Chain A
């Protein structure tokens, strides 16, 4: 009896998943930062596995499927400081620590976000930019904590680190989708979470997550590790290299002038 109940419960739990599902992949699972790294781009592509009910039956489609792709850099705590005028000059006064802000956050979608995603679904999946920045416990430290979080988002939107790109996911025949996402040259190392949401009528009906590994490789990796782990040796080495390069350049110049 108990066993039968368990099976029924299992089947019930599996039922929502029996709606449509999404399969997707990235064009690459790792991004290597080499000495000549100048940014990169990834292709996110996939297909919707329809069930009998979800398959579009009439054209034009009445409740079409939309796709949202988010790429989030590693979460890092940051301090946001606000300048204030003291004794005639502008200096950093109030500061607020934000627990976790992604170093990069891009949202690509097949339609403008507010048309294909309801507020409650946004809240549940933390999709839009303000929800991706976590600032729990921030209130109380400063007078107007919200303005600090808004400033963080504003500054990172200006530098292009945070970006919303509507109409950049192409959905073909309600089944196939693809999106090109550019990664800037100032990429920070870490694991980048790529999430894909399928929405219909404002509701998220399926989602999928892939991790993109961003790593320094070769000499970049070696130099960075040396600077962190063997700081004294690295410091001496960089002085020696700089002296050698300076001496070499001036010797080459003297030689080129033929004296």
Chain B
């Protein structure tokens, strides 16, 4: 069954889209990440124009985060105050990111920008996660009790404007969360992702938040930033495709339920190793595409 996407101006198979959303949903259910970093490149692959793919992914991520946050709010695993600080920074970052996106689009370098961001960030996060998870597996084999080496006083705790974040049990400056928010906001606007895969490690390793509130708070921040990104893309570029977003989302929600069931059967370290390998694979693929001589030197773009 074909469905014509009014904004992307292409006709694609309805079940292909549903399956694509479902596949990304399964992965996001297993690993607890949004999956935007996989969805956007997959949309390029089925012929959705990059600008439409980025904008529509932002829309889809925002909506899927809402269902996630509701579940976390019921369990009380969202640090709303921290989330607001992150969101404040995130909005500034999203505006900056959109500016950069539109500037480079006019220079014809937006595809390069998106790809470079993917290579750098997927590579860094994938490597960190891989090394950390390998270490965890080695410790588990040696039967040593896992010691949480969360530094109670790192540089983050010396900055001014301190506030108490009760749900996280922290008393730190608001500047680091805002800065983290800015960075993730920029990435969200440029890469069409929620940024969970950057935000989660940043919250654990930089801000020192306890793991149990990290995922819920990350989703909370993603709602506002992705929503703002999708709106800005809709207003300035008219590139949000509501048909595409809705079909992907329905597939994604169903896939996420199955993913969560599979994820419950795997060990946490194994999950992290698998996710790290997945992230590194996508990174290597994109990196090779940049470095190897392309099959077709020329490309066509509509005149703005």
Contact = CB atoms under 8 A, between A and B. Distances in A.
Interface string A234-259: 11111101110111011001000000
Contact of A89 (B236, B252, B290): B290
Given A186-B10, A220-B6, A242-B60, A234 B108 contact: no
Given A239-B227, A242-B59, A80 B299 contact: yes
A151 B230 CA distance: 34
Interface in A57-88: 76-85, 88
Contact of A231 (B4, B47, B238, B250): B238
B62 A242 contact: yes
Nearest to B246: A245
A156 B109 CA distance: 21
| Residue with the greatest number of chain B CB neighbours at <10 A, chosen from A33, A92, A220 | A92
Given A223-B6, A231-B234, A79 B291 contact: no
B4 A35 contact: yes
B228 to A, nearest CB: 10
Interface string B202-240: 000000000000000000000000010011011110101
A248 to B, nearest CB: 8
Interface string A91-118: 1100101000000000000000000000
A120 interface: no
Contacts of B291: 88-90
A220 B2 CA distance: 14
Interface of A: 33-39, 76-85, 88-92, 95, 97, 148, 151-152, 154-156, 185-186, 188, 216, 219-220, 223-224, 227-228, 231-232, 234-239, 241-243, 245-247, 249-250, 253
27 contacts: A33-B4, A76-B302, A79-B301, A81-B108, A81-B301, A83-B297, A84-B297, A92-B108, A152-B300, A186-B9, A186-B47, A223-B242, A224-B6, A227-B234, A227-B238, A232-B235, A235-B231, A235-B235, A235-B240, A237-B242, A238-B240, A241-B245, A242-B60, A243-B62, A245-B249, A245-B250, A246-B64
